[in-house]
Amino acid sequence: MIFEETYTLVNGVTIPKLGLGTWFIDDDKAANAVCNAVQIGYRHFDTAQAYGNERGVGEGIRVCGVPREELFVTTKLAAEAKTYKDAVSAIDDSLRVMGLDYLDMMLIHSPQPWAEFREADRYVEGNREAWRALEEAYQAGKLRAIGISNFEKEDIDSLLAGCTIAPMVNQLLVHVSNTPFALMRYSENKGMLVEAYSPVAHGEMLKNPTVKAIAETYGVTIPQLCIRYTLQLGTLPLPKTANPDHMRDNAKLDFVISDADMETLKQMEPIKDYGEFSIFPVYGGKL
């Protein structure tokens, strides 16, 4: 079962190979989603300050009936927290809001504030200040692991040049038709595990006839194929859903995609339109 499989981060911390993403799960529904997922077998949960549901996720972690040490909880530092003082305050705010004594991992959500995502200013000093706050929280035992999200090579190099503790994870947009192979390899070569958010392309893969045809040959759903694809790349998928049926289906991954089909999936044309979600910076839009 996928729930029993883990990766090991460079600091020796183990992390479940499949996580539940919680983007777009409302705060008042997040606790119930976490509890349902725990009953199904999930032990890894991913949220962020930007999602507005840390309180609900934390509540679910506290009341789900599974010991805290058996769960892996990640949140992300707001992309706008680019001073040491703001980052220290934000880290403590997450712990307070979630009602947890520690977090298993915290990431810098983006190298730039969302309104400036992928623009020229790389916020080198701001990221170093935010990272220093994460390093100190890690050393204090508030965080068991620290990492980054949406960081490109330039951002990684700038951070590594000024850090004491190297990032352990880089969480990236990775899905069929959007597989940043060079960045993934670079991150891995620097000791980072790559986590794959939006492995089903925020639902856009459901519309793809080639992916549908390949899924049918294995007798699996399109989401199952897409999640399995990211696993076979060596990444950690974070499919997001509040639907217990989808949670169960997303974890049925005991099949292997052939080398030939993996090559087909790797070479698919990039998605140019994420529909109504194209407004979000990670999908190429501007807030």
Report the catalytic residues: 51
**150, 110 contact by CB (below 8 A):** yes
**249, 195 contact by CB (below 8 A):** no
Length of the chain: 287
Interacting residues of 268 by C-beta distance below 8 A, sequence separation 6+: 176, 177, 208, 210, 211
Q: How far apart are the first and last CA of the chain?
A: 39
For 193, phi and psi rounded to 5 degrees?
-80, 135
Gap between the Cα atoms of 97 and 84, Å rounded? 20
Please report which residue ranges of 41-180 form alpha helices under DSSP H.
Answer: 54-63, 84-98, 124-139, 153-160
Name the nearest CA neighbour of 47 among 57, 35, 37: 57
Gap between the Cα atoms of 79 and 85, Å rounded? 14
DSSP annotation of 170 reads: E
For CA atoms 246, 106, 145, 192, the dihedral sign is positive
**151, 117 contact by CB (below 8 A):** no
Structure tokens at 160: 């590594």
CA 24 to chain centre: 14
**238, 197 contact by CB (below 8 A):** yes
